[in-house]
């Protein structure tokens, strides 16, 4: 998707250690028009899978997931990192490593909003190692839901996440694919 590619190349910043800073339009400040365009593209790419829920992780996945859900006309559910008192006693819980924080992060979903028989589209900001998305897959499976697709705004090909998700046998679409990042810059795949 050209507009997202342009933003990554113009405003993205390689911090080293495989970390891409996109705070100006995704992770801290959100460009709503760009996220709406991304959501529309996800809806087009995954319409044939007929998802009934979009699932993402708090917090950076919420904007693209919300817009994808809007264009698909379905709810979005996000896995929380902490359990609020409003959540029931029994929840779906897993952990996944946070690449940017360097710690294990809880992913928690209430069974009120992710149920058996749902057709789940997972949407997140990044597909890197695949660990967060695999955590979301575990949550969907615990609920008895079926994962029907995975979408990411940005894929860092060099981290192998797509290969880690291959066993799912579902469509995986990334709107921007980064081949490598180094001191010379950010290099996109064709």
pLDDT in tens, 125-178: 999 999 999 999 999 999 999 999 999 999 999 999 999 999 999 999 999 999
pLDDT > 80? residue 109: yes
Q: What is the pTM of this model?
A: 0.96
Q: What single DSSP character describes residue 25?
A: I
pLDDT at residue 120 in the model: 98
Mean pLDDT of all residues in 43-69 = 97
pLDDT at 154: 98
| pLDDT of 14 higher than 80 | yes
pLDDT band with cut points at 50, 70 and 90 for residue 62: very high
Where in 27-182 does DSSP place strands (E)?
A: 53-57, 76-79, 92-97, 104-109, 119-127, 146-156, 172-182
Q: Where are the alpha helices (DSSP H) in the chain?
A: 2-11, 32-46, 62-72, 131-143, 161-165
Q: How many domains does the chain have?
A: 1
Of 39, 81, 84, the closest CA to residue 59 belongs to 81
Is residue 186 predicted with pLDDT exceeding 90?
Answer: yes
User: Residue 83 pLDDT more than 80?
Assistant: yes
* pLDDT at site 172: 98
* Mean of pLDDT over the chain: 96
Looking at residue 17, which CATH number applies to its domain?
A: 3.40.50.2020
Note every long-range contact of 95-101, with CB atoms under 8 Å and residues 24 or more positions apart, other chains counting: 95/135, 96/57, 96/131, 96/132, 96/134, 96/135, 97/129, 97/131, 98/132, 99/18, 99/19, 99/128, 99/129, 99/131, 100/19
Domain housing 110: 2-188
Pairing of strands 119-127, 53-57: parallel
Q: CA 121 to CA 105: how far, in whole Å?
A: 21
Among 159, 134, 167, CA closest to 57:
134
């Amino acid at each position: 998707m050209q507009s997202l590619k342009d933003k990554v190349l113009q405003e993205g910043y390689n911090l080293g250690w495989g970390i891409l800073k996109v705070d100006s339009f995704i992770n801290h400040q959100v460009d709503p028009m760009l996220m709406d365009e991304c959501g529309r593209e996800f809806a087009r790419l995954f319409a044939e899978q007929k998802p009934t829920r979009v699932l993402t992780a708090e917090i950076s996945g919420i904007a693209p997931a919300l817009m994808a859900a809007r264009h698909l006309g379905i709810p979005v559910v996000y896995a929380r990192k902490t359990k609020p008192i409003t959540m029931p006693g029994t929840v779906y819980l897993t952990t996944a490593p946070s690449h940017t924080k360097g710690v294990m992060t809880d992913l928690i979903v209430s069974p009120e909003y992710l149920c058996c028989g749902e057709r789940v589209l997972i949407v997140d900001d990044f597909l890197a190692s695949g660990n967060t998305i695999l955590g979301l897959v575990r949550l969907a499976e615990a609920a008895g839901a079926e994962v029907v697709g995975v979408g990411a705004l940005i894929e860092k090909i060099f981290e192998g996440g797509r290969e880690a998700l291959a066993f799912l046998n579902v469509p995986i679409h990334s709107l921007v694919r980064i081949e490598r990042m180094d001191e010379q810059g950010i290099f996109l795949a064709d």
